[in-house]
Structure 1
């Protein structure tokens, strides 16, 4: 008896099983695909978000850089303007300095001219007004013409022009009999007469001076010169008396020392 054959499954069941298995596989694959697509989408979204964020940062940085560039340009323009202003200020200062120096020179010149004018006026006024004079320890005032007449006459005496000095000094005494120069002029006129060898006139002049001005600082010298004039006239006796008078009146004067020596030579 031949082996009994197994009953075969219906084909429709096999197909159903295959279809179920395929469906299961397809569902798993679909789920896997869905999972993979979600992760990829999330990753893509993250990348996009990051890209957007980077774009925003780049835009912000670009805007900041642009703003900084604009500020730098503004600062550069400001610095350029400031440099131009400084250059202009330097130029203005140089011009002002030049004007100031010119003004100072003009002021100095005006001051010099003013000083010259004031000095000229002072000189003219001084020539017209009485001036203070100090002579032989005495102070007095004298007219400009009086001073000039005195100085001119004394210049002749200092130059050794005795014969011209005598009349000049005599003329001064006649014109200015009350002058503060009077006593000094008498003394020097006696010296001029002695220098001109007019000894008699010198004796009269020196005696008049010594009698009129015994307190004058040149009185001792006048007595000594008087004694010398008398000695030149060979009036030795009178000369000795004059020297003794000098020693008595002015014992501590320098003229007294000379008088002592002169007495030793007179016989």
Structure 2
């Protein structure tokens, strides 16, 4: 812009000199010397004034352009700084969001663990529905644990510990829903331990208190076996006959008929 302004000024100056040089030749034909000189001076003054005004205008425009360029540069710098600040703020907020997400995930994991532990404690203490030998009842986790433990001993042929475990369960849980099954397996453990009188008492209690239970026919058959072991064949035959009469369609009744045929 400055080069353009200077070039334009040079042009203006050259033009001024040319006009000044040509004017006397023209004025000679129209005016006398005084009038010509006066016209030339007047023309030069007007031209210089116009030239000065033009140069002033060009200077003002140049300064405005230069100032505008500097202002634009400052604006660009400020905008760049603001952009960097925004980038930094966004990065900081993104980091906070990621940390919050990790914190929330950690809290959810802790909550899930706490809920699982709470559920485990609840299951360990609250009664639950149990279905055993065709009967549905409610039992505490402790009852279920003791019954399963005693039955596991019996299945391993550890008859002494099994008898102790079933007997202890009867004392701790006299009204348990496991009672008919406990009486049946207790009598079997006692029979295996050759405690025939005790086995008879356990199986008789089962038949007496729970005549409709699934294990009642088998208990009567086991009861007759204990009576035979005690050489009480007469009572054994009576027990077998009652079994056939009370539960004629059971598998235990079929076995009782075979034994009655062989029992003298």
TM-score range, shorter chain: 0.5 to 0.7
Which residue of 1 is the match for residue 168 of structure 2? 171
Instruction: Describe how 1:68-107 pairs up with structure 2 within 5 A.
Output: 68-106=65-103
Q: Paired residue for 2:10?
A: none
Matched, 1:67 2:61: no
Name stretches of at least 5 consecutive residues in structure 1 with no aligned partner: 1-30
Residue deviations 1:201-260 (CA, integer Å, cap 9, x gap): 444423321320234xxx13331353256358484674354144223xxx5xxxx3x347
Match of 1:224 among 207, 211, 218: 218
TM-score of the aligned structures, taking structure 2 as reference length: 0.57
Residue 210 of structure 2 aligns with which residue?
213
Question: What is the alpha-carbon root mean square deviation over aligned residues?
Answer: 4.7
Distance 1:32 1:131, change over 3 A: closer
Name the count of aligned residue pairs: 223
Greater Rg, structure 1 or structure 2?
1
Query: How far is 1:193 from its partner?
Result: 3.9
Q: Distance in 1 between matches of 2:211 and 2:44?
A: 137
Pick the aligned partner of 1:33 from 28, 31, 56: 28
Alpha-carbon shift at residue 172 of structure 1 (Å): 1.8
**1:190 touches 1:201 (CA, 8 Å); kept in 2?**
yes
| Residue number in structure 2 paired with 1:20 | none
Q: TM-score, normalization: structure 1?
A: 0.57
> Is 1:131 aligned to residue 147 of structure 2?
no
Q: Could you say which residue in structure 2 is the equivalent of 1:190?
A: 187
Gap regions ≥5 residues in structure 2: 1-25
Cα distance between partner residues in 1 of 2:51 and 2:220? 133
